């Protein structure tokens, strides 16, 4: 198997990989510093994705497993997406004063109750489908049609559950933010995730500090308590899933799993065989229009790669990392379609932030963590980015329809006013 063989090669040439990782880390930090004048930012997850995927490519080049063309292809798409994402993120940070003004207008008690209730509902959902099924793959039931009704709420409220508590702590609140954080961690652990809430908390902290332009100010004792509580929760989550330090290190290397399965493969396009162009651009839209290749779950990018490598679809597989996805699905002039989908995503996020966040008062600011989380994850998961685009376009169209309807009603009322 290609994945196992590459991981074995990394173990056998660990110093080469570590040198590649060090160089990739310098590149990730350097890109962030060029755009934001700091070494790490609210786009921390993007930086991690960039570093570990780039390390796989540099290792392959150093070991002679990858040609210069494949290395150039990876960096072309990787840097195109990264530069675009940082451009959008900088536009968001320019409105930091407006964002804090709107945060002060929120009914924080009502929003906090909503977030705690949402997280506890997720705990119940995951308990039924994951915990009681002895840790069955959460991806399997998340691929069911009914779960698509839950996904929009999760996309919006999960990142908000990490960012809002930090604002409340900074404002002097205690029980409200701690309740939100506790319920968020419980939900994450129940989902069977390998302590991914650590990324959520640290990423939200860095985003908040980017917005504030200064560090979060809380009492030292409270900061220590939160650190110990998060660390113990992470240890519990990993221990419950029997994940040791070696497995955790391999998990980070597997950020580049799709990069291995595509760029190291003799034929990178095998996993995309039989998938229509529309399904490659937006799988959800193709499925809605009755596209058979989109309706077949075996053709989903990660599942297809895993099937090619292991011989069967066991409902596990890598995310649709942006460079790997483009390499697998497009060749020649078809790359223009891939580039158009990246620029289209960035344009929709920009419009969403402008019309649904900045122009909707205090309610709009609740959508900001979702937009930033989408930017953070797009490099690692093209599918999630397209899912977010669907939700953003739906929100934009809904607001446009409400605006037109409101305007029409006002016009009718003016016409019928007595002279």
* C-alpha dist (Å) from residue 144 to 139, 140, 171, 191, 295: 9, 7, 41, 16, 11
Q: Is 151 exposed, middle or buried (0-12, 13-18, 19+ CB in 10 A)?
A: middle
Query: b vs e for 318-353, b when ≥16 Cβ sit within 10 Å of the residue's Cβ?
Result: bbbbbbbbbbbbbeeeebeebeebbeebbebbbebb
Does the pTM surpass 0.85? The reply is: yes
Which is nearest to 29 in space by CA: 17, 47, 43?
47
pLDDT at 132: 58
Alpha helix positions (H), 63-196: 68-93, 96-104, 108-126, 138-142, 151-170, 175-190
pLDDT at 340: 96
Would you list the DSSP string of 241-297? Answer: TT--HHHHHHHHHGGGHHHHHHHTSSSTTGGGTT--HHHHH-HHHHHHTT-HHHH-G
Residue pair 251/199 in contact by the 8 Å Cβ criterion: no
Which is nearest to 148 in space by CA: 355, 394, 399, 402?
394
pLDDT at 138: 55
Query: b vs e for 227-244, b when ≥16 Cβ sit within 10 Å of the residue's Cβ?
Result: eeebeebbeebbeeeeee
Which is nearest to 271 in space by CA: 332, 330, 315, 322?
330
CA–CA gap between residue 297 and residue 142 (Å, rounded): 12
Tokens of 307: 């099937």
pLDDT at 145: 62
pLDDT at 208: 94
Three-state secondary structure of 191-211: CCCCCCHHHHHHHHHHHHHHH
Residue 381 CB neighbours (<10 A): 22
Tens digits of pLDDT across the chain (419 residues): 787 888 888 888 899 999 999 999 999 999 999 999 999 999 999 999 999 999 999 999 999 999 999 999 999 999 999 999 999 999 999 988 899 999 999 999 999 999 999 999 888 887 776 655 655 455 555 656 666 667 888 889 999 999 999 999 999 899 999 999 999 998 888 777 777 888 889 999 999 999 998 888 888 888 898 889 888 888 888 887 777 777 778 788 888 889 998 999 888 888 888 888 898 898 888 888 888 887 777 778 877 787 776 766 666 777 889 999 999 999 889 999 999 999 999 999 999 999 888 888 788 899 999 999 999 999 999 999 999 999 999 888 887 787 778 777 776 666 555 55
Tokens of 418: 């007595």
Task: Write out the H or E segment, with its range, that includes residue 24.
Answer: helix 14-36
27 contacts: CB under 8 Å, gap ≥ 6: 50, 51, 54
CA–CA gap between residue 180 and residue 113 (Å, rounded): 8
pLDDT at 408: 74
- The end-to-end CA distance of the chain, in Å, is 82
121 contacts: CB under 8 Å, gap ≥ 6: none
pLDDT at 291: 83
Hey, is 417 helix, strand or coil?
A: coil
Tokens of 135: 């840790």
CA–CA gap between residue 157 and residue 242 (Å, rounded): 29
């Amino acid at each position: 198997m290609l994945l196992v063989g590459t991981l074995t090669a990394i173990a056998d040439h660990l110093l080469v990989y570590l040198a590649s990782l060090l160089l990739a880390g310098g590149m990730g930090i350097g890109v962030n510093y060029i755009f934001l004048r700091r070494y790490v930012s609210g786009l921390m997850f993007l930086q991690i994705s960039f570093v570990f995927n780039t390390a796989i490519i540099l290792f392959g080049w150093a070991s002679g497993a990858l040609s210069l063309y494949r290395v150039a292809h990876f960096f072309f798409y990787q840097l195109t997406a990264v530069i675009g994402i940082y451009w959008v993120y900088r536009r968001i940070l320019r409105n930091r004063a407006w964002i804090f003004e709107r945060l002060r207008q929120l009914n924080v008690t009502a929003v906090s109750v909503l977030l705690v209730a949402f997280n506890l509902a997720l705990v119940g959902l995951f308990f039924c489908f994951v915990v009681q099924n002895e840790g069955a793959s959460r991806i399997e039931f998340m691929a069911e049609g009914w779960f698509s009704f839950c996904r929009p709420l999760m996309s919006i409220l999960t990142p908000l559950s990490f960012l809002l508590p930090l604002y409340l702590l900074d404002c002097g609140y205690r029980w409200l933010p701690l309740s939100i954080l506790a319920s968020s961690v419980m939900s994450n652990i129940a989902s069977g995730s390998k302590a991914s809430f650590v990324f959520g908390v640290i990423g939200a902290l860095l985003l908040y500090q980017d917005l504030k332009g200064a560090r979060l100010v809380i009492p030292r004792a409270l900061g220590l308590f939160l650190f110990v509580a998060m660390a113990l929760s992470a240890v519990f989550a990993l221990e419950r899933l029997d994940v040791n330090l070696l497995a955790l290190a391999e998990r980070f290397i597997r950020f580049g799993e799709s990069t291995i399965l595509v760029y190291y493969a003799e034929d990178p396009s095998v996993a995309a065989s039989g998938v229509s162009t529309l399904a490659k651009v937006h799988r959800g839209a193709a499925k809605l229009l009755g596209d058979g290749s989109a309706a077949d779950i075996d053709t989903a990018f990660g599942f297809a790669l895993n099937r090619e490598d292991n011989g069967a679809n066991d409902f596990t597989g890598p995310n649709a990392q942006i460079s790997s996805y483009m390499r697998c699905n497009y060749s020649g002039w078809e790359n223009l379609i891939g580039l158009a989908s990246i620029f289209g995503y960035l344009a929709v996020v920009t419009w969403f932030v402008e019309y649904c966040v900045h122009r909707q008062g205090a309610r709009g600011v609740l959508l900001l963590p979702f937009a930033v989380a989408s930017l953070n994850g797009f490099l690692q998961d093209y599918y999630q980015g397209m899912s977010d685009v669907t939700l953003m376009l739906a929100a934009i169209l809904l607001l446009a329809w409400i605006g037109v309807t409101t305007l029409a009603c006002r016009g009718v009322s003016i016409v019928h006013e007595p002279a």
